[in-house]
Amino acid sequence: MKREEIGAMTPHGLRRHLFPLASFAVLAAIFAWLVMRSYGINPTVFADEWYYSKMARLQPLSEAIVPSYLYLWLFGAANACGDGFLECARGANTLLFVAGAPFLYLTARSVTGRATAAAIALMATLAPLNLYTAYFMPESVYYLGFCILSWVALTRRHWHWALHALACGVLLGLMSLLKVHGVFLLPSLLLFLAYSRWLAGPGWIGSALLSMAIGGASLFAVKFGLGYLLAGEAGLSLFGPFYGGGANAASAGDKLRLLKPAFVIARAHLMLLALAFGVPMALLLQGLLRPARRADAGQADLVGIYTLLMLGAAAGMTILYTATLAYPGTYEGLRMHVRYYSFVFPLLWVVAAAAVEGRGQASRGLRWTIALLLSAVLAIAVVKLPTYAVLPVDSPEAFALRFELHWNYVILALQIGALLLWAAGRASAQRLFLFVVTPLFIISGIQATNIQLHLLAPDQAADMAGKAAHRLVPPAERGKITVAGTDIGQVMRAQFHIDDKDSAMLMLPQDAPIEPYQIPVRNKWLLVFGKHALPQGLTPVASNEHYALVHLDAERRILGSARLNEEFGPAGLLAGGEGLSHIEGFGRWSDAKQVVLHFNAPLPKHAFIVFKAWSYGDNSELPFTLRVGDSSAQFRISGAPQEVGLRLETDGQQRSLVIEVPHPTSPAENGDPRDTRKLGIALAEIEISTPVN
């Protein structure tokens, strides 16, 4: 035997390999547990899971509405699993999530011992954040990206500063192609790079500026360069169609109106952070108010600054985003979107661990001031935190710490105790937080998450309907299915199971019958779930108490069609229009009491008018009227895109149709001052046909 082989067989050699082998075994066990926990459950987060699945697997990347092109490209590989694509996506989610643990361990190892670093990596893997491994969403892979970025940023500073900045910028660029939110971390990364150069000593300004330039340039080079390779010209958009529209809308209007809702939602996030991470939050505040001198700053200070910058940027973006949604009559201003910054949470445990073995603390007075303020926040949280909207998908951490679960009062009391011990200068405060409070928080999270996922296992009506349609409708015709239901999330749930990007939706009032004009014209199948009576003459191919699947067979001759996001002119179906606003990506909104469409040719005597549209505000509850000459018909339309088909008899000479809007309303009247147009109906497409004799 070779000498090194003999050495590996000695007790010392076995002990040397025992830790990595045990770590691998533990992570493998957690991976298996997470996979089994989510196996067989139904998708539940809509529209997110349906949109991400559709964008990744069923349509070109250039058509994606969010610029998560790297994530979509990677998870498009789930198509190789056939109908088992969802389980494959969950398996990939779980593998990538667990893969973040070694990088977090190495980051923690730079400020604490091996056992504590391993405990932090283990706790992070068991934390409520792992809920996202069960969803067809990018949170898990984004978390891995942040773990790698943090490892490079915090532990690879011995590299040449230019290479360090380049690596950090490239990694953040890749993260921005997983979730566009990565772009909002750029200011924090640049400030961290500058701080890192400041620690190097005199003459740091030049290298700091160059380091920031390299980091920023490399991010955008990766985002736009790789984005272009994956999605073509669409990859050159900073935010993509969905977030770009939101950013433009948020930039309009009075910015001062955001102050009140921003304060209200910021208060909720502060209460949650104090409840889950009281001691590290106190340490971050201490470091902010009494920063270390350059000569005294060490790795613990570096970790603290990095965590504070990243948490501040991500949480600040979350608060402002939520504030833009806070309008009268909605609960969005009270909804806690913690998932936009929860990927930073494991670093708060690293901050606490670093303080156990770190430098001396700030003055006693400052410590007591911080501890008492955070304790007051926790006292207020008992009353105020339950008034906010907490959903598992938005904030599994807040969902786990709800006070309706009475054991969370124990966590609150222990958190206050740890803060008071920290104020008194006791090193046991950090240990109490890390090894008592945090495990209790994680146990609460595991229990809450397991209960939540268990509820997703039984099929609901939408699951049964979608699975039946996928099974009974030929693959080539699944894109010709219209799904009818009352709740838009449930309709998308059925679409997820149908698994065709072209399936359509028909939104109906609760228990309302389906009217003849709502029967799909261009699609061949109608899938209905809920108590919605079918028109006479329609016989389901398959049905039970939960759903009905109908095959449609209406023959007609198409005379012309037009998209409302195109200009009118003499060459197409439409010659002009009145009562319409400007062209948008989907088509045009009405902005008057009447919409008049002028055609280049007379409408047929037996006109079949089909259009894709949706309504605004309370117009969804009121009847619209369509007129052609002396003929008219009424219809109702929901706030979601749907197809309407109306048959009218004309004299064969009419070249115009009129749509009467029941109640034109501006978004400004509903509390959104950014849009003063009198909206009523959004028109995307129109088609004119006539029955085949």
Q: Which phi and psi angles does 688 have, rounded to 5°?
A: -115, 130
DSSP, residue by residue, 359-378? -----HHHHHHHHHHHHHHH
Give the chain's residues under pLDDT 50: 1, 6-7, 359-360
Distance of CA 205 to the CA centre of its chain: 38
DSSP, residue by residue, 506-537? EE--TTPPPPGGGS-SS-SEEEEESS-PPPTT
Quote the tokens at residue 207.
Answer: 């290298």
Taking the C-alpha atoms of residue 309 and residue 334, their distance in angstroms, rounded to an integer, is 25
Task: Kindly report the number of other CB atoms within 10 A of residue 276's CB atom.
Answer: 25
Give the pLDDT of residue 692.
Answer: 73
Taking the C-alpha atoms of residue 665 and residue 669, their distance in angstroms, rounded to an integer, is 7
Give the pLDDT of residue 411.
Answer: 97
Taking the C-alpha atoms of residue 626 and residue 648, their distance in angstroms, rounded to an integer, is 9
Give the pLDDT of residue 324.
Answer: 83
For residues 546 and 462, is the Cβ–Cβ distance under 8 A? no
Give the list of residues 6+ apart from residue 678 with CB closer than 8 angstroms, or none. 591, 592, 593, 664, 665, 666
C-alpha distance across the termini of the chain, in Å = 91
Q: Half-sphere exposure of 176 toward its Cβ, with a 13 Å CA cutoff?
A: 29
* Closest CA relative to residue 196, chosen from 212, 181, 180: 212
Give the pLDDT of residue 11.
Answer: 58
Taking the C-alpha atoms of residue 397 and residue 456, their distance in angstroms, rounded to an integer, is 19
For residues 195 and 145, is the Cβ–Cβ distance under 8 A? no
Distances (CA, A) of 623 to 133, 518, 608, 663: 44, 13, 19, 10
Taking the C-alpha atoms of residue 586 and residue 74, their distance in angstroms, rounded to an integer, is 28
Domain ranges (residues) in the chain: 18-252, 262-458, 461-551, 556-691
* Topology, domain 556-691: Jelly Rolls (2.60.120)
Gyration radius of the chain's alpha carbons: 29
Give the list of residues 6+ apart from residue 471 with CB closer than 8 angstroms, or none. none
Give me the residues paired with residue 213 across strands. Answer: none
Give the pLDDT of residue 358.
Answer: 53
At residue 538, the 3 state secondary structure works out as coil
Quote the tokens at residue 195.
Answer: 């701080």
Task: Kindly report the number of other CB atoms within 10 A of residue 591's CB atom.
Answer: 18
Give the pLDDT of residue 1.
Answer: 47
Task: Kindly report the number of other CB atoms within 10 A of residue 603's CB atom.
Answer: 24
Give the list of residues 6+ apart from residue 142 with CB closer than 8 angstroms, or none. 71, 175, 178, 179, 181, 182, 343
Quote the tokens at residue 352.
Answer: 């606490």
For residues 59 and 231, is the Cβ–Cβ distance under 8 A? no
For residues 495 and 483, is the Cβ–Cβ distance under 8 A? yes
**How many contiguous H segments (helices) and E segments (strands) does the chain have?**
22, 16
Tens digit of pLDDT for each residue in 22-32?
Answer: 899 999 999 99
* Closest CA relative to residue 589, chosen from 597, 598, 580: 580
Give the pLDDT of residue 249.
Answer: 52
For residues 258 and 320, is the Cβ–Cβ distance under 8 A? yes
* Closest CA relative to residue 464, chosen from 479, 438, 483: 483
Distances (CA, A) of 624 to 499, 563, 578, 646, 685: 33, 21, 17, 12, 17
* Closest CA relative to residue 123, chosen from 345, 284, 281, 299: 345
Taking the C-alpha atoms of residue 644 and residue 634, their distance in angstroms, rounded to an integer, is 11
Q: Which phi and psi angles does 563 have, rounded to 5°?
A: -100, 135
Taking the C-alpha atoms of residue 368 and residue 425, their distance in angstroms, rounded to an integer, is 10
For residues 347 and 306, is the Cβ–Cβ distance under 8 A? yes
pTM: 0.90
Helix axes 345-356, 299-324, angle to 10 degrees: 150
Give the pLDDT of residue 250.
Answer: 54
* Closest CA relative to residue 480, chosen from 446, 503, 508, 457: 503
